[in-house]
Amino acid sequence: MDPIIIGEILSVLLFAGIVAALMFGYPVAFTLGGTSLIFGFIGHSFGAFDYALLRGLPSRFFGTMINEVLVAVPLFVFMGMVLEKSGIAERLLTTMGQLFGSLRGGLAISVVIVGALLAASTGVVGATVVTMGLLSLPAMLRAGYDPRLATGVICASGTLGQIIPPSTVLIFLADILQGANSAAQAAKGNFSPDTVSVGDLFAGSMLPGIGLALLYIVWVVVKAFTDPKSCPPIVMSEAEKDGLGRRVVIALIPPILLIIAVLGSIVAGVATPTESASVGSLGAIMLTLSKAISERLGREMDGEELERRLFWFWIGFIALLVAFGWTMGAVGLLTALVAAVAVGFVWCMAVPELRREVSATMFGAVRGTTLISSMVFVILLGASIFSLVFRGLGGDHLVERGLTDMPGGAYGALAVVMFVMFLLGFFLDTFEIIFITVPIAGPVLLKMDIDAVWLGVMIGVNLQTSFLTPPFGFALFYLRGVASKLVTTAQIYRGIIPFVLIQILMLFVLVAEPRIATWLPDMIYRSAPLVPEGERKADDFGPGAETEGYNSEEED
């Protein structure tokens, strides 16, 4: 048999074998690398694979480890781990629940808002779902909420960290798409293509992420009118109403400050995503220190007096940041932030009780960051082996022929890739899916003149469903673990169905109006003059679009 045909057969078997092995629960990184090497050896025995290709692995591994863009991953993970210990989620959920709880569906709306704020502050899905499951689910069930609506809102809102920046998934996706775009443009004869940076995907995913949160709220409002018994209002005491506005300000300022520090610095162009991750980590440490200090003060003074002092502290701190930023720009903002962290750190180290608490928090955050970052990067190295062997067997040519011959042209090929990713989301994790499928299908789709930023946002929204779809949706597992005595697994599975459909609806909205994903990065990073509204159609960014006018200036 022709070695080319044998190689293509082996490449199909390789993909199927890896998916099957992962479904049986074998370690992801070693499954990707080990299975690929086995098929490489088999392919070599049939003359379908050249061992010389494996010589490129050391340079690939080294290139991954020195990639400055990926430095942002452990920094954002650290930021999320620190914030998990800071109490920001608890304070937000309590105050927002009191703010909206008197409305039908108000508790569910508050969960969506908190999920969006935490997503824009941390980008960590698991911590958000667990925290909201522990705090919100019992309150919602006590208020008489339908368990399916309560669990669905918590799971869906917790997964907003997948698409709302800063998302670690988007960082890896941008890095992979950058390589895929370079390969696709080189094949078309363009050896100086526009870059696909992390900043591009962060900006492109903001509006779709906010849109998903708004659609969740719309669904809750619809349920409140069509089925009032599923989400009744709660009755608040006069003590809970007293000083509510002050508590809302105290709860909202810390996450909003962090969002401005991280995303605002990227959008304003004063920092790259890697640099903003450093600022975000510093801000998360500051919030942890302020929480420890405020808790100690709370044991020494009246609660209302503490709230009043915290209110004026945050107002004064914002005024200080504005003054430093107005006079000295980004350097001034960073200086003020460093000074605040230094003062808080000295204060905490001077008090033995605070020193032990802060040290334990930092140790736990560093340990968790090390574990998560190591896991993700080892998976990435295993995926590099898979990609190399798959291409060496000729699988990339097989995929390219299959997609280019698909009815419907670029839209048909995109639909097939999106459908395959959606199905894989039932069984595999997000990182596994992007490391396996995007290096294979990405170059083919980008050769069809699909906008890279739009494609990245589409993939991000699609893969958000992988956290919600049974049997291996991680958000479902997280909530099931903390709510085992409150709800059944069947109620959780039924509860996420409307929200999965909402995410699919967002995909169709992005196909119908690609500018939702491309308008903001186009405004921020494009150096060419804007095209008048009447001279540009929605399809200018979809398949077949001309992308020469798009020029990212992001350094990463």
Mean pLDDT of 27-43: 86
Q: At 116, is the pLDDT very low, low, confident or very high (cuts 50, 70, 90)?
A: confident
Q: At 505, is the pLDDT very low, low, confident or very high (cuts 50, 70, 90)?
A: very high
Which range among 62-71, 110-119, 336-345 has the greatest average pLDDT? 110-119
Q: 131 is written with which tokens?
A: 């925290």
> What is the Cα–Cα distance from 135 to 144, expressed in whole angstroms?
15
Backbone φ/ψ region at 85: left (φ over 0), alpha (ψ -120 to 50), beta: alpha
Q: Which residues contact 117 (CB under 8 A, 6 or more apart)?
A: 92, 252, 255, 256, 259
pLDDT at 202 over 50: yes
Share of the chain above pLDDT 90, in %: 8
Closest CA to 140 of 64, 240, 220, 67: 220
Whole-prediction pTM value? 0.80
Which range among 22-26, 243-247, 300-304, 340-344 has the greatest average pLDDT? 340-344
Give the pLDDT of residue 553. Answer: 38
Q: At 216, is the pLDDT very low, low, confident or very high (cuts 50, 70, 90)?
A: very high
Q: Which residue has the higher pLDDT, 270 or 205?
A: 205
Q: For the ranges 150-154, 169-173, 399-403, which has the lowest average pLDDT?
A: 399-403
DSSP characters for 219-286? Answer: HHHHHHHH-GGGS---PPPHHHHTTHHHHHHHHHHHHHHHHIIIIIHHHTTSS-HHHHHHHHHHHHHH
pLDDT at 370 over 90: no
pLDDT at 302 over 60: yes
DSSP label at residue 540: G
Mean pLDDT of 151-172: 85
Q: How far is CA 212 from the centre of its chain?
A: 13
User: Is 460 in contact with 170 (CB distance < 8 Å)?
Assistant: yes
Closest CA to 276 of 460, 75, 119: 75
pLDDT at 224 over 50: yes
How high does pLDDT run on average in the chain? 79
Give the pLDDT of residue 537. Answer: 41
Q: For the ranges 82-86, 359-363, 421-425, 478-482, which has the lowest average pLDDT?
A: 82-86
User: Is 109 in contact with 103 (CB distance < 8 Å)?
Assistant: yes
DSSP characters for 66-120? Answer: T-SGGGHHHHHHHHHHHHHHHTHHHHHHHHHHHHHTTSTTHHHHHHHHHHHHHHH
Burial class (CB in 10 A: 0-12, 13-18, 19+), 243: middle
Mean pLDDT of 86-98: 75
Give the pLDDT of residue 555. Answer: 39
pLDDT at 538 over 60: no
Mean pLDDT of 389-409: 83
Q: At 298, is the pLDDT very low, low, confident or very high (cuts 50, 70, 90)?
A: low
Mean pLDDT of 265-284: 76
Burial class (CB in 10 A: 0-12, 13-18, 19+), 235: exposed
Q: At 220, is the pLDDT very low, low, confident or very high (cuts 50, 70, 90)?
A: very high
> What is the Cα–Cα distance from 225 to 88, expressed in whole angstroms?
31
Give the pLDDT of residue 268. Answer: 67
Mean pLDDT of 149-160: 88
pLDDT tens column, 463-502: 888 778 877 677 787 787 777 677 888 888 888 999 999 9
| Number of residues that make up the chain | 556
Q: At 551, is the pLDDT very low, low, confident or very high (cuts 50, 70, 90)?
A: very low
Burial 354-375 (b: 16+ CB within 10 A, else e): beebbeebbeebeebbeebbee
Mean pLDDT of 506-515: 92
H helices of 122-237, in order, are: 125-142, 147-158, 168-187, 198-226
354 by DSSP, 3-state: which? helix
Share of the chain above pLDDT 70, in %: 87
pLDDT at 440 over 60: yes
Give the pLDDT of residue 169. Answer: 84
Give the pLDDT of residue 301. Answer: 66
Which range among 100-109, 448-457, 527-536 has the greatest average pLDDT? 448-457
Give the pLDDT of residue 18. Answer: 84
Give the pLDDT of residue 221. Answer: 92
> What is the Cα–Cα distance from 538 to 536, expressed in whole angstroms?
7
Closest CA to 540 of 421, 459, 454: 454
User: Is 155 in contact with 479 (CB distance < 8 Å)?
Assistant: yes
Give the pLDDT of residue 361. Answer: 80
Give the pLDDT of residue 501. Answer: 93
